[in-house]
Chains A and B, each alone.
Chain A
Amino acid sequence: MATAMKRDQFNTQSLGVPLNTMVKEARILMVGAGGIGCELLKNLVLAGFGEIHIVDLDTIDLSNLNRQFLFRHEHIKKSKALVAKDAAHKFNPNVKLEAYMANIKDSQFNVDWFKGFTMIFNALDNLDARRHVNKMCIAAGIPLIESGTTGFNGQVQVIKKGVSACYDCTPKETPKSFPVCTIRSTPSQPIHCIVWGKSYLLSEIFGASEDDSPEMDHSEDSENAEEIEKLRQEAQALKKIREAMGTESFAQLLFDKVYKDDVIRLRSMEEMWKTRRPPESLDENAEEIEKLRQEAQALKKIREAMGTESFAQLLFDKVYKDDVIRLRSMEEMWKTRRPPESLEYATVIFVTAGANLRSIVFGIETKSRFDIKQMAGNIIPAIATTNAIVAGLCVLQSFKVLRGEFSSTKETFLTPFAQERLLASDKSRPPNPDCPVCSVAQTRVLVDMSRATLGDLVEDFLKMELGYGEEIVVNHGNNLLYDVDETENLGKKLSELGIKGDSFLTIVDEDEEHENGPRVNLILNVQESASPEEKPIKSLDIAPATNGEVPGSPIPRRKKEVKEGPQSNGHSTNGPSAPVNGGSATKRTATEAFENGDETPSAKKAKTLSNGADNEVIEIIDNDGSILIEDD
């Protein structure tokens, strides 16, 4: 091409040659090719980043097209990653693009694979995957640019192990769950009826059992054993009705069961209704329904049809005859995917009708179909503009990361309703010294899977080589493999305990008696190796202690005062209202501390825990604020 101006003329002009060269040589991983992902990919491609890998498991849906501009109508049901790659390639053929239609949690994407990138961008929409990538980036020591949007709000954060706070340094809100009895017996809010419609009625009739639903909280089950057993029988009976599906009487059977028989049974438990309004089965409730009919437009339609003989038939036949095939295929989807982002239309009708009828039974306000879809599907509003802004901010941060200027990276928030702080940027926060993900010691271990036992790990590796004492716990995910009282696994091979290459094990030190407190948690990243001559387990990153208990043990300790131990009792703030939720209390204070920003210059000092300098670690905690706030 004989044109005088080069393609990257403006980039060279503004970035300068050295940075522009770094950009061209960078190898980037982008996780997620949705709303932020499309914007980000466009920006990265035009900024001239040399090589970009894209991972996304998802396929394209019609509701994506209002913002995910790399996709067209004809791409619906195709892979986001692959279509995005093809679309972006056209606009800068010099960039090397690689796409994977895969789950980022797949084992092919191991720590070594992550290590091959200059930096990683998260453009995800769910907590679980964000946490995973965060963990992998911490393990690999690769910088991560994390971002997210909700409606007009958005946020960008640079995560670098040991330098800035990681994704899990502040506890995240977990999805709401409800006790089983609230959902099945004593609902008091529309959301209870909606969860019932979705996680019980819909699931029992068309899908998996409610026990698998993450919205069901079984922690109080033992207190209500008798009622739980009754409910189990009720669900069994419902399953029988499910077998009648396809027969003439199915819909009537189902309707009579859930809105009459079950309600009458529930009502007969007088104990339960001493302090609550008892439920009224639907045929007793005609007057109330009539009143509500005038209130709620959505209910009106259902109610009108309900007066007719054929109502139940119609409602369920529609779902059964017309849509059952699609519903069944959805059932498959739910097994392999993250919880559904939105519910298909037939499902929404079913859940709306189911939930609103139940609301009438319990005298609860009914909701419109639009609202119920949002409440049941956890739908988050999303628009192109916010994604464009956030993606732009991500790339700005990436320039600082490329230059290694982590001290000047910013955490930026979009606060669209405060004119003076539309884009508010704060200094990056330092890592939280209590963070279970980044403020831990990490090492890779070479394990000969053919012979290594849990005993080898505990006795030979942890105690002899790393100098651990007796009081230790070994966890694999949520599974406890070993502690002082749980010794029966010691003789088993690690492979028999479900551990494979790239598994993560967490070692918790419970030696509260030690003068400097227990060690920080240790994360072992298992690497397979066959080495018949050497020891079955060998550390790749930590030199073994010379022998036994050595003062210079490589895993640092934390001081006792730091721990929010259970021994500090008699300090509950909220009176006797029993289960003081420690988790939510810390969450609140953490958020407050977060909102207060990190203007204090003293919080700037960045530390790694690996040098084991205990006093310094404590200093940070004193400055952290979150603990101070909790005191008042």
Chain B
Amino acid sequence: MTEVITDPTPPILHGPSDKEKKYDRQLRLWAASGQQALEDAHILLLNSGSGAVGVETLKNLVLPGIGQFTIADAGVVTEADLGVNFFLDEDSLGNSRAECCVKLLQELNPDVKGHWLPLQETLTVQKVLKNDAKYTLIIYTYPIEETDLDFVQEYSIKHKVPVISVHSSGFYSYFRTYLPGNFPIVDTHPDSTATTDLRLLTPWEELSKFSSELTGDIDNLSAHEHGHLPYLVILLHFLEKWKAEHRSLPSTYKEKTAFRSLVTAGARTDNPEGGEENFDEAAAAVLKTISAPTLSSSVKAVFDYEPNELEAKSNFWIIASAVKQFYEKHKQLPLPGSVPDMKAQSTVYVRLQNIYKKKARQDVAEVLSTVRAHPGGKDVDETEVESFCKNAAFIKLIHGSEANPESIKTLTKSEAENDANAEMTMMPLSLLPIYLSLHATSHMSTASSSDILATIDQVYPDASTTPRYVEISQEVARAKGGELHNISALTGGMVAQEVIKIITKQYIPIDNTCIFDGITSRTQVLRI
């Protein structure tokens, strides 16, 4: 060894903990930060009806290690419960359903803490929610008393707690998320092919220098060097050439096609292959990478939004405002800094990577200094700024859902119009009638088909005379609020997935209602 490092004790190499091993397969989806958020969360389930879908949802949250959960349920276990709920057994008969389910759910994961609240006259939903702000998210299932619903809404608004309602009956189900206020997401996990940002139209000095260093004498390069010029260097070189000739950059489709021909013509063909792979790569990348940076509508929405006083104090909005300043100054977002794989000599490729990484670090440093200058920015974690800069082009703001009685009427009408043309447009039929039929049984699960239709008529007067509405309302009436375990298990999977997205603040949650039709195995998402 040519170099001797003074510290003689080598670091102890720690193996992954048991917890890391147990959660290995999911850490690959939401990383340690997401896992931590899950472990800090406490979910409340207000359970009712035949009671399976809420418990199935919890199962999918207990397994990945949610911190705590509480079931509040007035139910006492009956024989019919055993047929639909996996987390009850013969010994449970006659006991509190909340207690029995919690005990069996808890067996799934010793790291999770479960609590139960057997609802009764002396322990009402109002009392459960009155105490303190300990719940991170509330799930309730139908049917539910109207007054209890009010308490849930009150709690949600007061403590800024997201709520998900779930309704499963027979072959149908739906769930709906209510996000209190606005919900920003930094780590949306965009498709990796979409994240490439090479800044070819606006190269910074170091990149330009590096590029011209490689291509200054492009015609006299050896066959090997020429055939291993990284494609982005090739593009930079020809962009310079184009600029010198046209005094502008290629912007229209026609110009870009012409530019592509210019690149292709630059390849040497006097070799056994009759072409060069790196030039092929360059030509293929023209349309994708030669375009002026534009702000996506979702980032624009973040920049345009004016947070209220309370929101403005959160790390997200402090960093967002710093990034916005950065954007206004440089006319672009901070550089993400990654370079895609390409044909190149390894040493050249490593240098290129370093140039991009260095620029990305500089951009982060600039944003960070703006953040630090902000009155509340002293304690913002540097890694949070880094992650924001890296994901800046894909940040997303979901607006909270305010109930608006008029919007459901408009939606019902437009969905009905779509359905009228469904045969021609080959579009599947709307699932909104399922939502409306289930929703009509929100407070009482046994209702006749005509009761259901009468309720729907209030928002869509044609319902009673529309065969599809009649058919669906009959199906809902037939199920009498009874759950099929299988439909509830499936719905529980989807609901838990949304809970995980909301709690980890990763990926984009559904906005805001997902309706499932078990007869055609199909979902539809609508903003209701």
Contact = CB atoms under 8 A, between A and B. Distances in A.
Interface stretch (B248-256, B305-313, B322-330, B490-498): B490-498
A306 B64 CA distance: 38
A6 B13 contact: no
B232 interface: no
Given A345-B15, A422-B525, 5 more contacts: A6-B79, A66-B64, A388-B60, A393-B490, A575-B275
A577 interface: yes
Interface string B7-23: 11011010110100111
Contacts of B89: 90-91
Contacts of B341: 189
B483 A10 contact: yes
Contacts of B224: 274-275
B346 A14 contact: no
A39 B64 CA distance: 15
Contact of A412 (B64, B480, B521, B525): B521
Interface in A1-44: 1, 3, 5-11, 13-15, 39, 42-43
A443 B7 CA distance: 73
A305 interface: yes
Contacts of B490: 388-389, 391-393, 396
A349 interface: yes
Contacts of A276: 345
Interface in A108-129: none
Task: Indicate the member of A8, A63, A362, A577 with the most B CB atoms within 10 Å.
Answer: A63
A382 interface: yes
Contacts of A425: 520-522
Interface stretch (B107-115, B206-214, B370-378, B432-440): B107-115
A245 B507 CA distance: 49
A196 to B, nearest CB: 15
Contacts, number: 241
Contact of A304 (B11, B346, B485, B521): B11
Interface string A321-351: 0000000000000000000001001000100
Contacts of A485: none
A383 B275 CA distance: 46
Interface in B102-154: 107-110
B78 interface: yes
Nearest to A45: B86
Interface in A136-174: 151-152, 156
Given A66-B22, A301-B13, A42 B86 contact: yes
A387 interface: yes
B16 to A, nearest CB: 7
Contact of B63 (A91, A374, A384): A384
Interface in A222-280: 274-277
B59 A384 contact: yes
Interface stretch (A67-75, A510-518, A536-544, A583-591): A67-75
B334 interface: no
6 contacts: A62-B21, A73-B110, A152-B29, A274-B224, A397-B521, A576-B273
B349 to A, nearest CB: 8
Interface stretch (A98-106, A308-316, A562-570, A603-611): A308-316
A286 interface: yes
B60 A47 contact: no
Interface string B510-526: 11001010101111110
A590 to B, nearest CB: 21
B521 A396 contact: yes
B5 interface: yes
A388 B496 contact: yes
B37 interface: no
A599 interface: yes
Given A13-B479, A384-B493, A67 B347 contact: no
A467 interface: no
Interface string B170-203: 1100000000000000000001000000000000
